[in-house]
Amino acid sequence: MNKLFGTDGIRGVVNKEVTPLLAYNVGRALGKYISVTNKGKVIIGRDTRTSGQMLECAFVSGLSSQGIDSDVVGLASTPCISYLTKQKNYSAGVMITASHNLPEYNGIKIFNSNGIKLDEEQEKIIENILLNIDEYYYNDYQNIGKIRYYPKLVDFYIKYLKNLLTGVAQNIYIDCANGATTKIIQKLFKNSKQLFFINQETDGKNINVNCGATNLNKLQNIVKNQDINLGVAFDGDGDRIMLVSKEQVIDGDDILYAFAIHNKTDNVVGTIMSNFGLEKSLEIKGINLIRVDVGDKYVIDEMLKNKFILGGEQAGHIIQGNLSPTGDGVLTLISIINMGIHNFIKLCKQNKKYPQVLKNVKVANKNIIKSQKFKDYMSICESLLMENGRIVVRPSGTEPVIRIMVEGENKKLINKIAADIQNFILKM
């Protein structure tokens, strides 16, 4: 069996890589893992994809077959499930989602009892159980796990968010990506008359389609042409956020800078994809940027290890460790509103980023970048930048693509280098 877990759980095309049988067996494997380590319940949520109910049913059946009880909340965001897992003392939390991917994808994210994504060792244990799944017996009828439907649990999370909101939201346009934050954000701000919503028609087949954090075109036009202070876009499962002001797109790097300055943070955890300009801008303020591998779980691991309270990714995962155990788009928005939108935008402008080129190359074999031939070529490309930029080429943990990032002071040069690397990979 190939490695099942990527940088953000299990993910793939529905009924091709991610099937009801896979969900059922992962449920069995998680159930067996929990039954060995402790006895307890699991909480399960899903985003708005049509395939979510199918996979949810299969997964809880697998858990039940191993004697594990489940609380099924239905539609919820990933940070909601993370929060409830910890606060309500579940043995594990499960989110059926493919995050920012299109509707034909779905996947499974698993949280431990602290609401944190499984570490690599825990993932390996579950993968090993799956390899030998047919050797595990089913529980007899007297010891089958119970399944309870408990959608009102989501309100407990919304109440937590409401208690954190101290500022006033004015002239904000929110793109819900037709996803998991739709009902949450509507309930949270139901009495506000200066919030406007788009892409909140969740039909199961339109999640992330030409909208949300990965497609800001419509939101940018609205903010540019109307009396709007800020445009906000979530991704399908609500753990990411991207923003649009009159002057710029505000990504995770900008948010980290603004939060670090506002909260007088000494250390910020980013990734190898965090812009070099963020590092330099923070350095001027006496703040350290610590880089880890791509993936919010690696950011969280570093934060926990060193008791840091702020970290995130350029793509919009923002982790405020004193408020949540994972990235939370709605929570990030609340923090922005609390600090004042105009003050926030002003701080974001101070983050002077380097020009950056991002390219995705679809490939059959992501391991080609490990070859000596490719490494030799990369050495040539890096020598062209000298010390005035960076190149990061890495396999995606969620898609069959190789991601290329080139940044530096010379726009023309970095565009050429990125295009050359892309063509080199395509010819390999």
What is the third-level CATH fold of 10-154?
Answer: Alpha-D-Glucose-1,6-Bisphosphate; Chain A, domain 3 (3.40.120)
Residue listed under structure tokens 């069996």: 1
Q: What is the domain partition of the chain in residue ranges?
A: 10-154, 165-349, 356-427
What is the third-level CATH fold of 165-349?
Answer: Alpha-D-Glucose-1,6-Bisphosphate; Chain A, domain 3 (3.40.120)
Predicted local confidence at residue 4, as pLDDT: 87
Radius of gyration from C-alpha coordinates of the chain? 22
The answer to whether 99 is a known catalytic residue is yes
* Per-residue 3-state assignment (H helix, E strand, C coil) for 68-85: CEEEEEEECCHHHHHHHH
Predicted local confidence at residue 2, as pLDDT: 56
Per-residue CA distances from 162 to 77, 125, 241, 336, 380 (Å): 16, 38, 18, 14, 53
What is the third-level CATH fold of 356-427?
Answer: TATA-Binding Protein (3.30.310)
Residue 351's closest CA among 241, 234, 232, 245? 245
Residue 241's closest CA among 105, 356, 335, 351? 335
Cα–Cα distance for residue pair 378/365, rounded to 1 Å: 18
Which tens digit of pLDDT belongs to each residue from 67-122? 999 999 999 999 999 999 999 999 999 999 999 999 999 999 999 999 999 998 99
- Contacts (Cβ under 8 Å, ≥6 apart) of 412: none
| Contact between 97 and 237 (Cβ < 8 Å) | yes
User: Per the residue annotation, which of 61, 64, 91, 99 is the catalytic one?
Assistant: 99
Q: Sheet harboring 288-292: ordered strands across?
A: 288-292, 267-271, 310-312, 318-320
Predicted local confidence at residue 357, as pLDDT: 94
Q: Which residues of the chain have pLDDT under 50?
A: none
Predicted local confidence at residue 38, as pLDDT: 67
> In angstroms, how far is the first alpha carbon of the chain from the final one?
26
| Contact between 191 and 166 (Cβ < 8 Å) | no
User: What string of DSSP letters covers 321-386?
Assistant: TTT-SS--HHHHHHHHHHH-HHHHHHHHHT--PPPEEEEEEE-S-GGGGGSHHHHHHHHHHHHHHT
Which tens digit of pLDDT belongs to each residue from 175-200? 999 999 999 999 999 888 889 999 99
What percentage of the chain carries pLDDT values higher than 70? 99
